[in-house]
Amino acid sequence: MNEDLILTKPIDADETLDTTGLFCPLPVVKTAEKIKALTVGTVLEVISDDGGIEADLPAWCEGYGHEYMGCLRDGPVWRLYVRKKTRD
C-alpha cells in the first residue's frame, strides 16, 4: 500500500457506505453499486471490517477510473475514501 494514502484523520465525505459484516467481494460490489448512483466529483466513504478491502478497493478504483483518496484504520474498521471520476 502507498504510505501516502494512509490517512491520519477522516476526509469530509459527501456519502457513506457501511459494509461492516460483509466480506470479499461484497464490500467492493456494494461500492460499485453505490458509486453508480453518485455524481462525478462526489466523495464516498466506505466503512469495512474486511482486511482485504485495503488492497481490493484501490485496485478497483484504478480499474474503473475513480480516485482512491486513502484509508484510515480505526481499530478493526477501515475507512476508505473514493472520489467518483467517471460516468458509469
Query: Which residue numbers are catalytic?
Result: 24
Integer Cα distance of 43 and 67 in angstroms: 9
Residue 70 contacts by C-beta under 8 Å, 6 or more apart in sequence?
Answer: 4, 5, 6, 7, 11, 80, 81
Residue 29 contacts by C-beta under 8 Å, 6 or more apart in sequence?
Answer: none
